[in-house]
């Protein structure tokens, strides 16, 4: 962590720069963005991304961390050079800076599940045998370096199972569980860890992706977990 004037600790900041600039990428490919007003986002994690006023959240070009940013001096005062660990470069040629500000955002609390998802997690933890006979709970919100796993449990054979819970199961939920499994399987006290994707509704594409990755799918009956009988006629 850098130190500022007087030895004070300089906290990581988010920097927002709006400038008329051109951008050149040199790496595995080459790409050029001609001169235009753009937003340059320098995040506290070291990433740098270039945005236009369209494309929703997607940047026009970016460098993922770790990377270094060097702002030109003297004759190169208007040139920023961003270099990543592979030696690829993003060269931003500034023509006119319209705005430049930095902000300390602090630690983000992460995405808070909506009431239904949070309640589903609580109910399933209390009724873990819903996943299968002989299942036992290890804990809810099992911590990992990239966020907590909704439920960690063991099956009847004692194998570890990580459960990701969603109200509506889509591809991004499967991707999230995949990242958790990659981390959990590095822990010799837990491995091998398999995954279960649980939701009130699971989209077909998400089910296909989960199956391809060896992740089980469980459709949760919210009312059933709450002990409320469905008054609709059902065929068995």
Q: Are residues 120 and 99 in the same domain?
A: no
Q: Are residues 81 and 158 in the same domain?
A: no
Instruction: Show which of 46, 77, 103 is a domain's final residue.
Output: 103
pLDDT tens string 99-129: 999 998 876 665 555 557 888 889 999 999 9
Q: Are residues 29 and 94 in the same domain?
A: yes
Q: Are residues 124 and 222 in the same domain?
A: yes
Instruction: Show which of 103, 132, 165 is a domain's final residue.
Output: 103
Query: For position 232, what pLDDT does the model report?
Result: 40
Residue with tokens 């320098």: 42
Total number of domains in the chain: 2
CB 215 within 8 A of CB 197: yes
Query: For position 109, what pLDDT does the model report?
Result: 61
Query: For position 234, what pLDDT does the model report?
Result: 38
Instruction: Show which of 103, 131, 166 is a domain's final residue.
Output: 103
Q: Are residues 148 and 216 in the same domain?
A: yes
**Residue 49: pLDDT band by 50, 70, 90 thresholds?**
very high
CATH number of the domain where residue 132 is located: 3.40.1350.10
Averaged pLDDT, 151-165: 96
Q: What are phi and psi of 70, to 5 degrees?
A: -120, 120
Which structural domain, as residue segments, surrounds residue 65? 14-103
Q: Which of 22-36, 163-177, 188-202, 215-229 has the lowest mean pLDDT?
A: 215-229
Q: Which residue has better confidence, 234 or 63?
A: 63
Ranges of H-type helices in 9-142: 115-126
- What is the pLDDT of the chain when averaged over all its residues? 85
Q: Are residues 97 and 121 in the same domain?
A: no
Averaged pLDDT, 181-191: 94
CB 163 within 8 A of CB 131: yes
Residue with tokens 């951008």: 23
In 3D space, the residue among 151, 152, 169, 149 whose CA is nearest the CA of residue 160 turns out to be 152
Q: Which residue has better confidence, 20 or 8?
A: 20
Q: Are residues 86 and 146 in the same domain?
A: no
Query: Is pLDDT at 187 greater than 70 in this prediction?
Result: yes
Q: Are residues 197 and 125 in the same domain?
A: yes
Q: Are residues 124 and 86 in the same domain?
A: no
Q: What are phi and psi of 108, to 5 degrees?
A: -80, 135
| Residue 184, helix vs strand vs coil | helix
Query: Is pLDDT at 218 greater than 50 in this prediction?
Result: yes
Q: Are residues 140 and 206 in the same domain?
A: yes
Averaged pLDDT, 216-230: 79
Is 5 a member of any domain? no
Q: Are residues 141 and 204 in the same domain?
A: yes
Q: Are residues 50 and 71 in the same domain?
A: yes
User: What region, left, alpha or beta, does residue 7 occupy, with left being phi > 0 and alpha being psi -120 to 50 degrees?
Assistant: left
Query: Is pLDDT at 181 greater than 60 in this prediction?
Result: yes
């Amino acid at each position: 962590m850098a130190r500022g004037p007087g030895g004070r600790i300089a906290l990581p900041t988010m920097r927002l720069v709006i400038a008329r600039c051109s951008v050149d990428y040199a790496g595995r490919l080459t790409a050029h963005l001609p001169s235009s007003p753009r937003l340059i986002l320098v995040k506290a994690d070291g990433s740098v991304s270039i945005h236009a006023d369209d494309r929703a959240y997607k940047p026009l070009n970016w460098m993922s961390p770790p990377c270094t940013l060097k702002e030109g001096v003297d004759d190169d005062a208007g040139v920023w050079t961003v270099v990543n660990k592979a030696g690829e470069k993003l060269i931003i040629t500034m023509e006119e800076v319209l705005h430049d500000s930095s902000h300390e955002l602090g630690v983000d609390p992460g995405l808070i599940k909506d009431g239904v998802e949070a309640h589903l997690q609580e109910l399933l933890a209390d009724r873990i045998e819903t996943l299968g006979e002989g299942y036992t709970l290890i804990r809810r919100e099992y911590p990992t370096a990239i966020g907590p796993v909704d439920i960690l449990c063991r099956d009847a054979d004692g194998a570890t199972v990580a459960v990701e819970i969603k109200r509506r199961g889509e591809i991004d939920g499967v991707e999230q569980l995949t990242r958790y499994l990659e981390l959990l399987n590095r822990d010799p006290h837990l491995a091998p860890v398999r995954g279960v994707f649980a939701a009130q509704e699971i989209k077909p594409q998400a089910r296909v992706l989960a199956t391809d990755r060896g992740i089980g799918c469980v459709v949760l009956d919210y009312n059933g977990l709450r002990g409320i009988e469905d008054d609709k006629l059902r065929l068995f």
